[in-house]
Structure formats: C-alpha cells, structure tokens
Amino acid sequence: MMTKNKIGLVLMLFLCLKSFSQTEDFQYRRTLENVSETWHKIILPEESFDKFNSDFSDVRIFGNNKTETPYILKTASDRISETAIQFKTINVSNKNADYFYTFELLQAKEINQIKLGFEQENFDWKLDLEASNNQTEWFLIQKDYRILSIKNSQTDYKFTQVDFPDSKYKFYRIKIKASEQPKLTEAKIREQQKEEGSFKTATIKTLKKTIDAKKKTSVIEVELAHKVPVSSIKINIGTTFDYYRPVTIEILRDSVKIEDKWHYNYDILTQGTLSSLEKKGFSTDNTLAKKLRITIENNNNQPLDIQGVEVKNAIYFLIARFTEKGNYSLFYGNKKAEKPQYDIENFEENIPKNPSVITVSKEEQNPQFKTETKSPLFENKIWLWVLMGIIIIALAFYSLKMLRE
C-alpha cells in the first residue's frame, strides 16, 4: 500500500505534467530574432491582438528544446501620482462681486492643482488664481478660469478643478467673480506628477455618424483595423458654442445573425460628459476592442458638429529572461491556456531597466499545432466498457433480488 508521502508525490508530478504547456497547444508563432543577452524586451505586435486571449494568458516563449522562458508583461501607460499638501484657510472676504479665499501652505512644496467643492449645485463662475510669499506682492497664475456645475433632470456635471503649471509659493488666493456668495465646502491642494507613457494612434478602418431624431442622440460607430487595448478615446468637436452632453462608449461583445439580419451586442466601456471645458478625452482600462459605439445624448439641443474620433492604444511588451543560447519563438492562440506564473515577478528590482529590444518575425501557423477532435461517445472504448460494467452490475443486483424473493 502506498504511503501518504508517495501519493502526494504522484499527485504533484501529475499536476506539474498537466500544467506544463506544449508548443502544439498554440495555433500561432513568431520567431524571436537576435536573442543574444540574458534579458530582452519584446514589443507585442499590434496585428496579433486579434488572436490573443483578452487577459494575454496564452502568450508563451519556447526554445527549440521546448523549455518555457519566463517573462513579465508590461504596458507603457501613463503613471500618475498625487500628493496631498497640507494647508489652512486664513482669509475669506469679498469686495463687491469679488469673493476671496486665501490658503497658506504648511510646508514648502510645489503644487499644480486645486480642487474646489461648493454647496451650490448650479453655477457658472470665473476665477483668478494668484500666489505670494508675503501677502503683499501677488503674482497671477490663472485668469478668468471657468468653473461650472449643472444638476438637473438631464445633466449632472461638475468642473471645479483648477490646473496650472508647477508653482512654489507660501500663499495662494482665489478670487471668484459671482453674483452670490460662493459657499466653499472643501478645497484640496495637490501636487500631481505624471510620467508620460507610450501610445499609438489606432488605425480607424470605418467611421459612421448618424443622428437619431427620435431618441435625440448622435451615434458614432467606429471600427478599428485591428483589435487593440484601447487606452483613450477623444471626440473632436467643431461646435463653437458651449455644450455639456452625457456620453456612453461601448465595445462590441458579439453578434448574432437572425433571419438574415445581424444583431450586435455591446458592453459599456465608460460613461461621462462631453464638455466644451474639457477636451482631454476619455481614459479607459486598456480593454481589447475592435468595434466601438459612442452615443451622445443631445436631449433638446442642436446636435454637435462631430469632426472625428481619435483612439489611442497602449503598447504592450514582454521583459523576458533567456538562460540558454538557442532559437526562441513567441507562441499564442490557445483559448484554454491559463495565465502563467513565474518567479521573476517577485524580483523585478533585479531586472535591468533598459534591456535591449529584439524583433519578432511575421506570424505563421504553428506546424505542430494539434486540433483537438472529440470522438462520439460510443466510439470511445472506455465509455463502452464503463457502460457494459454498469449494465452487468445492474443485472446482477436485480437477479440476486429476485432470487431472495
């Protein structure tokens, strides 16, 4: 009889063999060129995203000896960090229709953002932002900066964040020009640092704009040349008047053909407000998509002049460790693959910051790929033996029962 230790060892060996990926499990491959060092950077080709699993779980690197090469998946997205700066409000005053709020920083720090909150839900004000080190000599940082809040049955929109270039002063003063006393409920002073990422402008294959007068919406349908990890969507508007329109951006999930007509099912990617005050676009979580649908709620307003759409996609790359010399290939196209786990994920501090980039060849069908074919149930001998065994046991059981009676 096997001991518990032996049984555990057998189970571990079985699990290891089960989890070991074979090259024949992957439908596509690309040769890695000029592998010469221990660490290399491999930029994933955009035209292959159509065939990757949505979570990149099927991406593998194998050598000629079928040894799996470990890697870390990275993306060159923006990195934004915010530091809250301590301050105190020292003056609140007004002169005619000008209302003043003065803040004193409790530490000498650079800042570039002040976010304001007000008790009023509907307002449209302009403000000046000034700075000083002695409250005697003031320097203008922002002039006629517009802040806005609209809340009604159709819109719930706020724009009360004041952005400005890095500055380092002890005192900051906001002057709001308003017909009523702005009831300031909060202020947050921050230093925001942004490390710019690397993005590509996705190639748009088709763009269709329609206006639904009945639903009072403008709809933009965008089809990209390839499925890519969408990072941001910017809608270019030529309208010169102010506007604030709710927007829903969706991605195509699947399509079904019913009675010679295609029906498309979409999932919501992001929602927000398209505003004449903010023209940065809408950020998303690098979701793989090829078809987008953008719906702008016009309500009773004149439709906007939509001049185009810009879609940015993140650049994904691998940092891989090669321990042996030889030829290596990138494999993918395995729907059943589980996301790999490698030791190097826990030792990123030991990875060189700028490993050399290697190129990948054109995509080709993996000649070793084996399509899984399932035999009919009763062509499988194991199932036949199991079925015969069940019949024999059932006959024996009922035969004994009859003899006893």
What is residue 396's predicted lDDT score, i.e. its pLDDT?
Answer: 79
> How sure is the predictor about 368, in pLDDT bands with cuts at 50, 70 and 90?
confident
For residue 44, give the 3-state DSSP assignment: coil
Who wins on pLDDT, 384 or 20?
384
Q: What per-residue confidence (pLDDT) applies to 11? A: 41
Residue 17 clears pLDDT 50, i.e. is over it: no
The average confidence (pLDDT) of the chain is 88
170/136 Cα distance (integer angstroms):
12
Q: What is the pLDDT of residue 374?
A: 52
pLDDT digits (tens, 9 = 90+) for 136-167: 999 999 999 999 999 888 788 899 999 999 99
CA angle 115, 116, 120 (to 5 degrees): 150
> Alpha carbon 245 to chain centroid distance?
23
Distance CA 63, CA 68 (A): 7
Specify whether the CB–CB gap between 119 and 185 falls below 8 A.
Answer: yes
> φ and ψ at 135, to 5 degrees?
65, 15
Residue 366: pLDDT above 70?
Answer: yes
What does each C-alpha distance from 210 to 162, 247, 301 come to in angstroms? 35, 15, 16
Backbone angles phi, psi at 103, to 5 degrees: -120, 140
pTM summary value:
0.75
How far apart, in Å, do the first and last CA atoms of the chain sit?
A: 40
What pLDDT, on a 0 to 100 scale, did the predictor assign at position 371? 67
pLDDT band at 198 (very low <50, low <70, confident <90, very high): confident
Q: Please provide residue 47's backbone torsions phi and psi, each rounded to the nearest 5 degrees.
A: -70, -5
Distance CA 186, CA 116 (A): 6
Burial (0-12, 13-18, 19+ Cβ within 10 Å), 17: exposed
Q: What tens digit of pLDDT does each residue of 59-100 get?
A: 999 998 778 999 999 998 777 888 999 999 999 999 999 999
Mean pLDDT of 332-339: 92
E strand or H helix at 258: strand 244-258
User: In sequence order, which residues have a C-beta less than 8 Å from that of residue 75 and are 6 or more positions away?
Assistant: 197, 229, 286, 314, 315, 316, 317
The alpha carbon of residue 334 and the mean position of all alpha carbons in its chain are separated, in whole angstroms, by: 22
* 228: CB partners within 8 A, 6+ apart: 46, 49, 200, 202, 288, 289, 290, 311, 313
Q: Are 121 and 183 in contact (CB under 8 A)?
A: no
Q: How far apart are CA 189 and CA 104, in angstroms?
A: 11
Could you tell me if 323 and 70 are in contact, meaning their C-beta atoms sit under 8 angstroms apart? no
Rg of the Cα atoms in the chain? 31
**Are 147 and 162 within 8 A, CB to CB?**
yes
Closest residue by Cα to residue 23 from 327, 333, 316: 333
- The CB-side HSE value for 163 (13 A sphere, CA atoms) comes to 7
Hunting for tokens 């990875």 — which residue is that? 351
Contacts of 7 (CB under 8 A, 6+ apart): none
